[in-house]
A = this chain, B = another copy of it.
Amino acid sequence: MRKHIFNAGPCVLADVVRENTAKAVIELGNSGQSIMEVSHRSKDFEPIIKEAADLLKEILNIPEGYSVLFLGGGASLQFAMVPFNFLNTKAAYLNTGTWASGAIKEARLFGEVQVLASSEDKNFNYYPKGYTIPTDVDYFHITTNNTIYGTEILRDIDSPVPLIADMSSDILSRPVDVSKYDLIYAGAQKNMGPAGVTVVIIKNEFLERVTRTNIPTMLKYRVHVENGSMKNTPPCTAIFTVREVLRWVKSIGGVREMDRRAQAKADLLYHAIDSSKLFVGTVAKEDRSRMNICFVMKEGYKDKEADFIAFAGTKGVIGIKGHRSVGGFRASCYNALDIASVQVLVDAMAEYEKSIL
């Protein structure tokens, strides 16, 4: 039986995406070959990667002068690629959680890193504010949504220096003003597809800032831009699925509709948490993520957390165990999660609460 999938990533995909991928794994159209078998340099595959890039440009309203790349290695490889290409002397970072910390660690291998603000003092349960972005840095790096701690910025900030954003866990969940960013990257396995491909949106002009001459070929953004993500064999099957996800997003109304749905799901679940006598949120209300909703049981009931996970499991709810850094629960409500699944979780919370209070 199909589960209610609250996984933090990889995570739930729309039925049509799974079905079309499965079909293509057997045979891609009438090509006589599987999507796993077709040459990446063929009339079978080239239109797929082109359509995926074009759809992303359309859906996110990406201005002229930007390139869309599909790379392997995960967002974590971007943590190093960004400074390898663009950190010439100094860069500014915001430390908003585990992945932001990871990006900072990699940047320090390449130059000076100024951490403008950090929410580590409160176990990353808020999004830092009131910092000033210096003008003498090569770029400013942010993580727009923090998957583990459940905070999200939900707006496009103005930066006097090139702005780089890891949007792995909230891309495509709202309209974004891409013109404010010089580089956006996102592992696909939340809102965009399966694990195994990372999307990069890069302003072509930004490539001119690269001065290092010792960058390995596969870590050079310019190489990937010039080769249309095909310097080597790209992860073709994962890119096919990304195209299916983008077709699906477009078909149901694009990022405006995703935004509306994300808000509705988050409102439903946060309301349940806030009105509960048993459950309590872990994140400052104004910084709450709509993608990863973190909560715990109130003091005195902590020993029931595992029991509730098992109880929710009997309702078909999976993936709600919180990350070990936070504990409790994390319900990830990505684009493809239906609000009906959130209702199942909310009902389970109410039923469980009634049973023990």
Contact = CB atoms under 8 A, between A and B. Distances in A.
B232 A75 contact: yes
A194 B26 CA distance: 13
Nearest to A231: B76
B80 A196 contact: no
Contacts of A80: 216-219
A79 interface: yes
A233 B195 contact: yes
A233 B72 contact: no
Contacts of A237: 194-196, 237-238
B37 A26 contact: no
Interface string A1-24: 111010111111100001101110
A189 interface: yes
Interface stretch (A101-109, A136-144, A174-182, A279-287): A101-109
A87 B316 CA distance: 51
Contacts of A197: 196
A2 B32 CA distance: 4
Interface centre among A5, A23, A187, A196 (most CB of B within 10 A): A196
A8 B241 contact: no
A39 interface: yes
Contacts of A216: 77, 79-80, 84, 106, 109
A18 B26 contact: yes
A271 to B, nearest CB: 27
A343 interface: no
Contacts of A215: 109
A48 to B, nearest CB: 13
Nearest to A39: B7
Contacts of A27: 2
Given A22-B26, A74-B233, 16 more contacts: A3-B32, A9-B39, A10-B36, A12-B33, A39-B319, A72-B72, A73-B77, A76-B232, A79-B217, A106-B217, A187-B233, A195-B235, A195-B237, A196-B234, A196-B237, A235-B235
Closest CB pairs A-B (n = 4): A196-B235, A80-B216, A3-B32, A36-B194
